[in-house]
Copies of this chain bind each other. A is one copy, B any other.
Amino acid sequence: MPELYRELNKLADSEMYPFHMPGHKRNLESTPMKGAFRCDITEIDGFDNLHDEEGIILEAEERANRLYGAEKTFFLVNGSSCGVLSAVSAAVREGGRILAARGSHKSFYHGAYLRRLDISYLPYKQDDRYGIPDSYTAEDVKKALDQCDETPQAVFITSPTYEGKCSDVAGIAKVCHERGIPLIVDAAHGAHFGLRRAQGYGENGLGVPDSAVHQGADIVIHSVHKTLPSMTQTALIHVQGKLVDQGLLKRFLRIYQSSSPSYVLMSSIDLCMKEIEENGEEFFTKLLYYREKIQKETAGCRHLQVVGRNDIEDPAKVLIFVNKHAMTGQKLYDILREEYLLQLEMAGNYYALAIISGWDKEAGIDRLITAIKEIDDRIIDNPEGEETSQQCEGVSKSLLPEVAVPLYEAWDAVKEKVNLEKAAGRVSGEFINLYPPGIPILAPGEVVSEEIITQLKGYLDKKMNLQGVDISEDGGGTISVLS
């Protein structure tokens, strides 16, 4: 079977001269980006069309599809973001209602805004030990659905989370299907899930969780660049079952993606799928070996704790938590970066998050282990203990503000800025997020209560990263509200 990358190289090696886009004409003498430019073409004869695939791109999508086993798999060149936009747009009628986890990625909110959806929320849940978003049970979703005045047309959850926690997708899918509505799973961080099971390693995949596709979700979005070896901005969307109109999904994929999709990005997805197909065993063996090694060799640390697989099921996520808050996550992150030249993915309040994959090098893993142990030793010598609370600060969990105006109206409405002190009872005009974890405390259209004002002022006092609040000259905050 022809592969996209091989065919692109055959073209580059041929005598065929390009009198078409792109304007760089694959002129490698002129560019330092030789590897990328060599395979960068437009839709010429023999190279199919992402938006109407019937040849080599369709075959590549089918290769990916075989690994995950959905009815249909599409390549995405505008990231999981465009997959989420398309899923939300296709699964719910314009103006309809959707039930979504409050901590959904911003692309969920963007989709709901564009399609004028009313949103019911699964309240934000937090794992208080580490201050990270928690997963959902089937019971959580059942309860939220029962509480909706009007049955939503779809349910939207994120699993695994950014930090690697997994919801009960199979149970949640069952709850949705009993009501005849589709489940959309934003599994952007879980593209590596289920692939080991697919290789015959049994249901539990010897340490890699099952995929949302196999667990019965109707639409699943996978970033292949996050935990698998594909290029940034590449992703997959899988669809199955009768609850989603696949033609409509395809329409929205055409809308939210460039009509000039990059062959470099597409061939990177295809190479990644081929790598897993052919060398997946090695990829996952290494990933699990690295994960286990980090856990084991840092087990003796007294202040730094690599959170175990019971709490964070995803083996690709290494969350290094600072026990008793002896050091902030940002400080840990900075030391790792500046002193050890280890660039981590993010810093939380009291943790730093590393992403590992089967393409890591053992020398890199060893450097991380050494760094964790040395920093842990240093904390013994020089305890910082800025905070002593064992509970992590986070978005108030049960708090779901009253919706006065739908998101799509409020975000487009005329607004003004007011001091936080004077905002009580007003309607928010923007998103206000605490980062991390980036969950909306207020979305446009929601009423600013006294309780939320107190919460926001608390975050400001602690100089936490509050997005959507401007700091005024007197140190107070101003927010955008509807006029």
Contact = CB atoms under 8 A, between A and B. Distances in A.
Interface of A: 5, 14-25, 27, 30-42, 44-45, 77-82, 85, 93-94, 105-107, 110, 113-115, 192, 223-233, 254-265, 267-268, 271-272, 275, 316, 318, 337, 341-346, 354-357, 359-361, 364, 367-368, 408, 412
7 A-B pairs with the lowest CB-CB distances in the bound complex, closest first? A35-B35, A79-B258, A24-B229, A19-B354, A23-B357, A20-B345, A233-B262
A231 B37 contact: yes
Nearest to A114: B114
A20 B42 CA distance: 31
Given A79-B259, A260-B79, A232 B21 contact: yes
Residue from A229, A346, A412 with most neighbouring chain B CB atoms (10 Å): A229
A237 B99 CA distance: 35
A259 B337 CA distance: 23
A82 B23 contact: no
Nearest to A467: B52
Contacts of A364: 17-19, 25
A249 B293 CA distance: 48
Given A24-B231, A229-B23, A259 B34 contact: no
**Majority SS at the chain A contact face:** loop
A232 B263 contact: yes
A359 B230 CA distance: 29
Given A25-B359, A256-B256, A343 B20 contact: yes
Contacts of A85: 255
A205 to B, nearest CB: 17
Contacts of A231: 22, 24, 33, 36-37, 40, 262, 264
A16 B230 contact: no
A354 B88 CA distance: 40
24 contacts: A5-B33, A16-B343, A19-B364, A20-B345, A20-B355, A21-B345, A23-B226, A24-B228, A24-B230, A31-B229, A33-B35, A33-B264, A40-B232, A78-B257, A81-B258, A81-B260, A105-B259, A113-B255, A223-B260, A226-B260, A232-B261, A232-B263, A233-B258, A233-B262
